[in-house]
Structure formats: C-alpha cells, structure tokens
Amino acid sequence: MKKPISVILCAVLLISLLAGCGKEEPQESVEVTTVAPTTAAPTTEPATTMPATSDEATSAVKYDFVAIKQDADKINSEFNSSVKAGQFDGSIYMKLGNDFEYISTTGYADVDNHIDNSVNTCYYAGNITAQFTAVAVLKLAEEGKLSLDEPINEYFPKLERRDKITVRDLLENTSGIKDYVDHIGTSNKIYFLRSDFDDEITEENDSKKNKSIIFDWIMSSTSEFEPGTRRGYSNSNWFLLGKIIESVTESPYEVYITQNFFNPLGMRSSSFDSKNRLAVAYGGRESGKKLNYFGVGYSAFGLITTVSDMLKWSEAIASGSILSDESEKLMFSANKEETEEPCANYGIEYDGNTASVFSECGAYRSALCYTLDKSEVFISFSNSYNSNPESLYEEFKGSLRRYVR
C-alpha cells in the first residue's frame, strides 16, 4: 500500500496513539490548538483509484494543488476563522493532495478534569459505523458465506415480510423496516430513540439487554413500505445486518470488526461501548442521550473512534486493500435515484467524486469525507451538540472553490 502524507501524520502521532484513548493528561489551556499545514515532497507515484465511469469522470472535482501549496498559510488562516466563527469544539483533519494538511483541536474532552480535545480523543462516530457493517457484509459475500440476494427469513423467522426482504435490501435501505430511531424537524433534525423504549432502555442495562430489547422491537414492528419499492434510511437495517454477521461468523459483531478491521489496520483506539475512553458529551436534548447507552448503537451507530483511526480507515478503503474490485464498484455506485433525503446506501453517500457521511448521535457530531483517488480527506468529530462538522466542511469547501480547475 502506498503511503501518502496521511500516513506521515499517523507516524507523527504514533507515540500518543499507542496509548489509545486512555486518560489524557490535563493541559493548561483550552485555546484553539491549530497545527500549521505540513509539506512534503510530491510523490512521483500516481494515486491509486478505482476506474471511473463516464458519469463519475465528469463530476470529479479537480484542484490546482500547486496553487493550494503556495497559498497554504492563507488557507490555514481561513480555516481557522471558520472554526472560530462556528464556535466549533472538537477535532478536525483535512488533507488536500500530497502537500497540504490542516489539523485543529478545540474545546474540552473533559471540562471537569481540564482535558483538551485532540486528534486522539475518542468520540461516538454515529452512522459512520454503518460503513464498517457494509464492508463486513460485502467481505462475507466475497467469501461465499452469504448472498446479498438471499431472503433474510432464515435469520429472522419472526420478522414481518421476511420472505420479501433480502440482505441487499438492508444494505440499500429498501427493506421498509421501521427505524428504531425517531426524529423531529426537517432540515435540522433531532434524533432520539422511539418513545416505545422509554421504560425499557436504561443507562443501567448492560449492552446485551439493550440489544435484546431493540431486537425484539424490530421483530414485532410493522413495515413502513413494501420491500424494494422505495428507499428510506433505517437504523434497524444496520442493526439486523450486525445480527447477520454474528450468525454467519459465529462471533460477536464487535469482535469480528475488531479482528478483521481494527487490528489489521492498526486502529488501536477504536471500539464499542468503551465509556471510560470517551470524550464527555456536552449539550443536546435529554431524549438524545439514550442513543449513547450501552448496546443501543451496535452495528448501526455504536462505533467509538478517533480522527487518527478514521484516517487509517479512509486510506485503506481508498487504496482498495479491503474489498474486491466488484464489491468496491457496488459500494461506491452513485445513488440511482433521487430521494427526499440521502440514504447512505452501503453506509455512505457517494456522488461519483466524494464518499461522505455526516452524523449526529446524541451530543456527538461526526463527518467523514474522502475521494477515492486520495486527493481529499476531511474528518471531524465533536462532543458538543452546538458544533456542526457538516457546516464546517461546507465552509472549508467554499474557501477552496477558487482552486477548482
């Protein structure tokens, strides 16, 4: 695997990474800590990328990386201004080409203990989790351990319309299974567990109990539409895919993901349900806090990770080192039809140029965006409900618009 500047960043952070997401030493200040862009000699090797279709080729964004390198200080200053204006608290990383990196960490991981956020701070990643679930299912399909087009009735004999729903329907959000997460609002949605769980899902429950409660609810729920007739994002799809992975591998979902992705990629800070290694959540509604209880997120939005680990993941996916060409083509197919809201088929939204996920999970906010030619990466996490990584990404892209050619 080729090692672009993103890997250089990981090497620089190696000492702190070896400590995982363990307790960080208190720091004296919570001032914005911004590392200036680093530079490295341009690589002579072409970036590895998947073959583009004609539609993808026309939609690809091409930057003038020479100009970006020359204006690095100016871009860095503009990004800092966006972070400050947005009152963003959290961790941010952006890479452009081989010669520009932006790193910023602001706010507290733990106010009471005066611990600042850093690139090694652990956050809930929200629906970025689904990307791992999708890749796991595709790998198992490659190995002949399941078929994407098989009905899920053997896995879930009590589920309504189980004979009409396939594994592919779960991956492409066409199952019609009701979401166990609800929301209010349209443009600025607020997410929370359905009221059905008010008396059952508690902070005192262990992961196994909360998972069991949610699973039983999904099994007894009614469908929202006929399978295969339209798309509608449902966390229940991703929850059930986690159960399928467990059934096929005879291993807990979390163990399978750790052994097949976290360990091989050196993602030492990534885990599930490790509350003692997690940044404290600040703000948000009381109703949203249940999303962070043990076991509730599971294979839909239960991942806890860091900016540094997500950099390793995006590098591995873009390098084509995890999935076969056929599976990659399937996963990164552009949306086939317009919907009222993005559906994140196979755990991502892909427009033919950029793979992206933006998520909210209680007070935690997250963003993971990358191009398959590895020319652009944006990763951001926040433990403050009032911070918005998606808006920040749009601000950054606005500053870069003049470099598009």
Distance separating alpha carbons of residues 206 and 204, to the nearest angstrom: 6
Q: Which residues on neighbouring strands pair with residue 303, listed in sequence order?
A: 272
Per-residue pLDDT tens over the stretch 128-161: 999 999 999 999 999 999 999 999 999 999 999 9
Query: Which CATH number is 124-352 given?
Result: 3.40.710.10
- Report the pLDDT value the prediction gives residue 348, as an integer from 0 to 100: 93
Q: What is the pLDDT along the chain (405 residues), one digit of tens a residue?
A: 333 333 334 444 444 444 455 444 333 333 333 333 333 332 223 333 333 333 433 356 789 999 999 999 999 999 999 999 999 999 999 999 999 999 999 999 999 999 999 999 999 999 999 999 999 999 999 999 999 999 999 999 999 999 999 999 999 999 999 999 998 866 667 899 999 999 999 999 999 999 999 999 999 999 999 999 999 999 999 999 999 999 999 999 999 999 999 999 999 999 997 777 799 999 988 889 999 999 999 999 999 999 999 999 999 999 999 999 999 999 998 554 555 555 789 999 998 889 999 999 999 999 999 999 999 999 999 999 999 999 999 999 999 999 998
Q: Where are the domains of the chain?
A: 124-352
Per-residue pLDDT tens over the stretch 152-186: 999 999 999 999 999 999 999 999 999 999 988 66
- Report the pLDDT value the prediction gives residue 286, as an integer from 0 to 100: 83
CB 363 within 8 A of CB 284: yes
- Report the pLDDT value the prediction gives residue 29, as an integer from 0 to 100: 32
Q: Which residues on neighbouring strands pair with residue 115, listed in sequence order?
A: 110
Instruction: Quote the crossing angle between the two packed helices 235-249 and 129-142, to the nearest 10°.
Output: 40
Smallest CA-to-CA distance from 72 within 93, 99, 90 is with 99
Q: What is this structure's pTM?
A: 0.85
Q: How many CB atoms lie within 10 A of CB 245?
A: 23
C-alpha to C-alpha distances, 241 to 210, 251, 357, 403, nearest whole angstrom: 17, 13, 18, 41
- Report the pLDDT value the prediction gives residue 15, as an integer from 0 to 100: 40
- Report the pLDDT value the prediction gives residue 275, as an integer from 0 to 100: 72
**Residue 64 dihedral angles phi and psi, to the nearest 5°:** -85, 90
Half-sphere exposure of 196 (CA within 13 A, CB side): 15
- Report the pLDDT value the prediction gives residue 190, as an integer from 0 to 100: 80
CB 164 within 8 A of CB 175: no
Q: Who contacts 73 (Cβ-Cβ below 8 Å, separation ≥6)?
A: 36, 37
Per-residue pLDDT tens over the stretch 328-376: 999 998 554 555 555 789 999 998 889 999 999 999 999 999 999 999 9
